[in-house]
Amino acid sequence: MRRTLLSAVVLTSLFTATALAQDSKAAQSPGYTDTPMLPDGKWRVHDSARPHPAVAEPGPASGPVPAPKDALVLFDGTDLQHWKSNDGDAKWSVADGCMTINGTGDLRTVREFGDCQLHVEWASPVEVQGESQGRGNSGVFFFERYEVQILDSYGNVTYADGQAGSLYGQQPPLVNACRKPGEWQTYDIVFRAPTFGPEGGLLTPARVTLFHNGVLAHLDRPLWGATAHRSLPSYKAHESKGPIRLQDHGNPVRFRNLWIRELDLSSTPAAPSTIARAKGKAMGGSNEGAEPSKGGKVAGGAEPDGGSASARVNPDPLGNTDGKRDMDSDIAALMQQPELADTNITVQHVLIAFQGAPRISGVTRTKDEAKVLAAKVWARALSGEDFAALMKAHSNDAGGGEYPMTKQGRASMVKGFGDVGFRLKVGEIGVAPWDATASPYGWHIIKRVK
């Protein structure tokens, strides 16, 4: 019981508690308060408290937008020759110059596409049925996995990252440019495919520019990975081209006039800031969007991922291998090094607290004893002892002691955490020493694991 209470106290202190505020807002708007934080550390997936973009009144609907000569017309109102279903021929109903979702499942293009400009005209049902995600829901999935959401968002409140024009579960549109139910709407999407290295690690993330009814909704917005519901997006390496999928979400959304232009963007390489990872296997949720260091490689990008790979990393961020270590001088030397360019990291820590530290109870050692113990634990960690075992044996943070951090969100955490964490490569270990303001609970032995 004592440890449980201590855990609660420490955890509350590590993070700004916003749960109460979010709970009250959740009652007023759809969404979630228990989903993971997105990698930028600002909002949860489908966060019920995330602000909704302003309504931008688009101009009136017009007739079909003629396709440029170099475009491939994917649907001209007459047949589904360019589409197929999961199990064979496409079965959406075609009548009156449009195709309508009819419960027969998603459609996907017969051909595959990479970088492209896609024009889509769609209309949510005239008769409004359902609410939130149940109202006029469909979607355009590039590579069958990166969704630009289609929804009737005209006077229909849902979570911000799920409304029309959102990059579902990741990013709301800049504005709500939805027309009324039944009116024809346009999406003009520039999709830039993600790229992967020879070992499957993400090199550049997918990017989306979207005009909704002629109104800018996204400008070259990077994705954190494949679309996910109630969970974090992540990348898994795939080919340079893939089908485009239209979602059957059970609502009779109509489509007409779809055309696509394949793009050769080799003369406009992805900006260096889009390079997320130079090495690695299938991308988890930890590396997407990370900022690169010089030369286009993420700091630490040549290092193996955390966990099992840490055995191959010298855990000493100063590169010492002679075993002669002094905690105070090493702490000072690490602080002399610049922070790395990484924006999203995960650290584990062993908290060595002491009696009298704020919000700490049940700990009887003195501050001096805490420092001596911290130095011992730090040295054992550097010598290669299992960090999880050290956490279990010594940490006064009974809550588990593993925390994701973003550069934007670090201000809500113990300052020493970020000061050390953002100077460590994956697998390295540092110490945030006790400090009345930067690290008030004691000494944190910190290992970066992602």
Q: What are the residues binding Mg ion (CB under 5 A)? A: 137, 139, 149, 247
DSSP character for 113?
B
Nearer to Mg ion, 156 or 439 (CB): 156
Nearer to Mg ion, 153 or 247 (CB): 247
Nearer to Mg ion, 149 or 406 (CB): 149
Least separation in angstroms between CB 229 and Mg ion: 10
Least separation in angstroms between CB 169 and Mg ion: 10
Report yes or no: 208 and 243 within 8 Å, Cβ to Cβ: no
Neighbours of 60 (CB within 10 A): 9
Least separation in angstroms between CB 163 and Mg ion: 10
Nearer to Mg ion, 212 or 380 (CB): 212
Residues contacting residue 189 through CB under 8 Å, at least 6 positions apart = 117, 118, 119, 120, 140, 148, 208, 209, 210, 211
E strand intervals along 2-157: 72-75, 83-85, 88-89, 93-95, 98-100, 107-109, 116-123, 138-142, 146-150
Q: Which amino acid is at 261?
A: R
Nearer to Mg ion, 139 or 430 (CB): 139
Least separation in angstroms between CB 291 and Mg ion: 30
Nearer to Mg ion, 125 or 292 (CB): 125
Report yes or no: 149 and 166 within 8 Å, Cβ to Cβ: yes
Nearer to Mg ion, 133 or 344 (CB): 133
Least separation in angstroms between CB 106 and Mg ion: 10
Least separation in angstroms between CB 20 and Mg ion: 31
Question: Which residue lies nearest Mg ion, judged by its C-beta?
Answer: 139
Q: Which amino acid is at 162?
A: G
Least separation in angstroms between CB 207 and Mg ion: 20
What is the rounded CA–CA span in Å between residue 188 and residue 191?
Answer: 10
Residues contacting residue 414 through CB under 8 Å, at least 6 positions apart = 13, 14, 432, 438, 439, 440, 441, 444
DSSP character for 387?
H
What is the rounded CA–CA span in Å between residue 440 and residue 358?
Answer: 7
